[in-house]
Amino acid sequence: MMTEQEAYNSLAGFIQDYIYEKGWVHLNPLQIAAIEELGKGDHNLLLMAGTARGKTEAAFLPAISQIWERDYRDREIADPARTGEGSDSPGIGILYISPLKALINDQFLRIEDMIRGTGISITKWHGDSSVYRKEKLMEDPCGILQMTPESLEAMFCCHPERIKPLFGNLAYVVIDEIHFFINDQRGIQLMTLLERMRRLCGCRPIRIGLSATIKNRDMALEFLNTGSGYQGKVLSLSAGDHHVTCSLTATRIGKIEYPERYFKKILKHSRDKRCLLFTRSRMECERIIAGIREMALAHRLPDIYHVHHGSISKNSREETEQLMKISRGPILTGTTLTLELGIDIGDLDEVIQAADPPSIASMVQRLGRSGRRTGRSAISFQLRHREDKSDLKKLDLQLVRSLAMIELYFRDRYMEENRMPRYPFRFMVHTILSLICEKGCLQPAHLASYVLETEVFRNISREELKDLLSHLIDLDVLTRYEDAALGLSDRGEEIVDNLNFYAVFDAETAMSVYHNGVEIGMVERAYRPGNVFYLSGRSWEVIRCQMESQRIDVIETTLSEEEEASVPFAGFGSTQTDEVVMKKIHAILSDESEYAYIDEEAKGVLETLREKAERFHITEGMGTESSTGHLLWFPRTGSRTITTLAHILKAHDIRCEEIFCREVLFGIRIKGTERGTDRISAAALRSLCGRLSEEEVLIDNAYAARNLKIHGKYFDLLPDHLKAKEILCDCLDLEGAREILKETNQQWKD
């Protein structure tokens, strides 16, 4: 084990100076271990530590030292007149990949500080970056390059001839917030691009993944290693004696979605604090911050209220980030996911949840935004509870779901596991189009070797690829030339020749909003002159709407107490809940446990929810709905498995529908059989579960292709049997559903 002094001595002199100038007393254990392991140069590293615990430095201090030693120590600064291959340009030494442009901009400043005056350059490459800096990098490839996966994809498509000069000498790939990419189409895209780069350039860079929130380290390491040619190692830094304070309150609401009492609670709770307020949607974010701000200004309190989400203009978001970083006084910024990741916004006193977070991992990531320097983090849940005494669909489980996540993490340190897809056929379409765009055209055998030898497609057969290619030809996306080579048809060219092609997710169509000629953000639909809506925490009146240029011009306005503005964003869809969290929700509803960190109003809400759970037979797992006579089934399992069970029943001629308690998928309503209106009893359902659990095929391909659909790009370009396979293997949980069927049948026998 390397000592701290040995680790420090192994770093480049200017890095040692940087450490001294920053006033660091020690390198932490993660940084010492990373310096030692990267010095070996024969394996990937997954670096895990909480927010602001030095992960970025653990990766970059030794990586920069290594490329300095290799490429720069004995090299004169390159002559800008020398370009491309044949020059003495060392090529990119470190490629930094981030899921967000904002995170790239933030890390750019930190890394630039490390390398100032050394001759090592750093270039950020995304849509908002300087064209001059990009052109300069093309002429003299060197230093550190920061990109998103989409920018790297665009480089392969638009400048394939530059890939080898740029990356032929690549030493390291740093993937920030790596958990963000696992089990995501963007992660598959990234791993595919890195493997294509390795083959094209002949380089084998070490990969370094950074994360604060990963449950399954083995799976994360498998993802990091994909197609790299290396094994990997996990290095982690424990949280130590970091102190966390948690509190939860609920405000009962009726017809008024956002009562003044709710705004008053948050205003009082956040006063004199530096806080982030996380909401479930842009709509909720705008409405809450606007309400709090109006109340604060009415009481002549300072205007310290801001909004940060994907529909706010780039300049406004950056102003908010900078203000939070430099301000020492109280501040409250409402946000969605955009400030969940590691953008430096200074130290916060507290993180406020206006709704239950999407996952435990997300909650932990957000919690890490507070107490970064003091070692004392705080998270409070300021929930609104919608009252409804009779309708199961309107049962509001936010409070119970929040309690489940709090209990599972803080008592058991549980976090949800990520899954890697096995049959990413949709992304295979994207890869095929990208490869042909890069190469011009390809013989089928060469295309097959490119695709099937890529690690992310290892489970897909040659026959399935052949079927996909034939289908794309039939759809006139690809064309077959006389020599059998495959190229893009006119339709294929239209798909590829579009900025949206580089992203594997669907981009939003939106109207840009301008105030005094300055863009303040985007909204999801057009508004007529005179309409008023909330954006950036303020209310705006439309003075002009130009459909052809997708532009809305507005003036700021003030609403009276009786008036209400529109919120120009869609709400949220269904909430995904994993099996362990769902079982904990059932346990909380079934027992009489008390929680010291919730206030009296929240205790009252919890008591009401437990009464309703008993009335709706949730605690029993199965019961009959009094108003319709339909059978209600509440299997104690996750959202994905409940959806699978519902489709298994439908595939076997049972009329049923999923039960959503507000946004939370929680059970199944069984109405009868397709052949009649006969009701199904609990005993009959349990017997049916036993028979179904023995079925070899629970859902066949024909049913899946006919009744199920994956939202997103390229699904409609797949042949039916590949659509069905991706759905059945990667979207549903057939094995989990089979276990529930067996358990339910066994309960009947018992």
- Boundary residue ending a domain (186, 203, 236): 236
Q: Let me know if residue 492 belongs to a domain.
A: yes
pLDDT digits (tens, 9 = 90+) for 149-182: 999 999 999 889 999 999 999 999 999 999 989 8
Is the CB of residue 52 less than 8 Å from the CB of residue 239? no
Question: Given a cut of 70, is residue 81 above it in pLDDT?
Answer: no
Q: What is the number of structural domains in the chain?
A: 3
Question: Given a cut of 70, is residue 241 above it in pLDDT?
Answer: no
Phi/psi at 570 (5° precision): -70, 155
In the chain, the N- to C-terminal Cα span, in Å, equals 57
Q: Let me know if residue 407 belongs to a domain.
A: no
Q: What CATH number did the domain enclosing 448 receive?
A: 1.10.10.10
Q: Let me know if residue 320 belongs to a domain.
A: no
Q: What is the pLDDT of residue 749?
A: 58
Tell me what the mean pLDDT of segment 705-719 comes to.
Answer: 89
Lowest mean pLDDT among 74-78, 92-96, 451-455: 74-78
- Boundary residue ending a domain (206, 236, 266): 236
Q: Let me know if residue 274 belongs to a domain.
A: no
User: Do 77 and 200 fall into the same domain?
Assistant: yes
d(CA 155, CA 129): 14
Domain region containing 110:
4-236
pLDDT digits (tens, 9 = 90+) for 90-138: 899 999 999 888 889 889 988 999 999 888 999 999 877 778 888 889 8
B/e letters for 155-181, b = 16+ CB within 10 Å, e = fewer, are bbbeebebbbbbbbbbbbbbbbbbbbb
3-state SS string for 17-74: HHHHHCCCCCCCHHHHHHHHHHHHCCCEEEEECCCCCCHHHHHHHHHHHHHHHHHHCC
Q: Which residues contact residue 398 at a Cβ distance below 8 angstroms, ignoring those fewer than 6 apart?
A: 250, 355, 356, 383, 384, 385, 662
User: Do 19 and 141 fall into the same domain?
Assistant: yes
User: Do 632 and 493 fall into the same domain?
Assistant: no
Query: How many Cα neighbours within 13 Å face the side chain of 357?
Result: 28
Looking at per-residue confidence, does 26 or 564 come out higher? 26
Burial of 440 (0-12, 13-18, 19+ CB in 10 A): exposed
User: Do 78 and 202 fall into the same domain?
Assistant: yes
Is the CB of residue 102 less than 8 Å from the CB of residue 321? yes
Is the CB of residue 248 less than 8 Å from the CB of residue 355? no
Confidence label for 533 from pLDDT (cuts 50, 70 and 90): confident
Q: Let me know if residue 309 belongs to a domain.
A: no
Q: Which pair of tokens denotes residue 517?
A: 């000629």
User: Do 91 and 222 fall into the same domain?
Assistant: yes
Looking at per-residue confidence, does 243 or 514 come out higher? 514
Tell me what the mean pLDDT of segment 634-652 comes to.
Answer: 95
User: Do 34 and 170 fall into the same domain?
Assistant: yes
pLDDT digits (tens, 9 = 90+) for 275-332: 999 999 888 999 999 999 999 999 999 999 999 988 888 888 889 988 988 888 999 9
Q: What is the pLDDT of residue 550?
A: 83
Identify the three-state secondary structure at position 551.
strand
Question: Given a cut of 60, is residue 571 above it in pLDDT?
Answer: no
d(CA 137, CA 152): 14
Q: Let me know if residue 285 belongs to a domain.
A: no
Lowest mean pLDDT among 169-173, 388-392, 588-592, 692-696: 388-392
Q: What is the pLDDT of residue 563?
A: 61
Q: What CATH number did the domain enclosing 75 receive?
A: 3.40.50.300
User: Do 170 and 41 fall into the same domain?
Assistant: yes
Tell me what the mean pLDDT of segment 632-639 comes to.
Answer: 95
Residue 531 falls in which region: left (phi positive, over 0), alpha (psi -120 to 50) or beta: beta
User: Do 17 and 141 fall into the same domain?
Assistant: yes
Q: Let me know if residue 9 belongs to a domain.
A: yes
Instruction: Select from 658, 661, 657, 659 the least CA-distant residue to 671.
Output: 657
d(CA 315, CA 576): 33
Q: Let me know if residue 378 belongs to a domain.
A: no
- Boundary residue ending a domain (473, 502, 531): 502
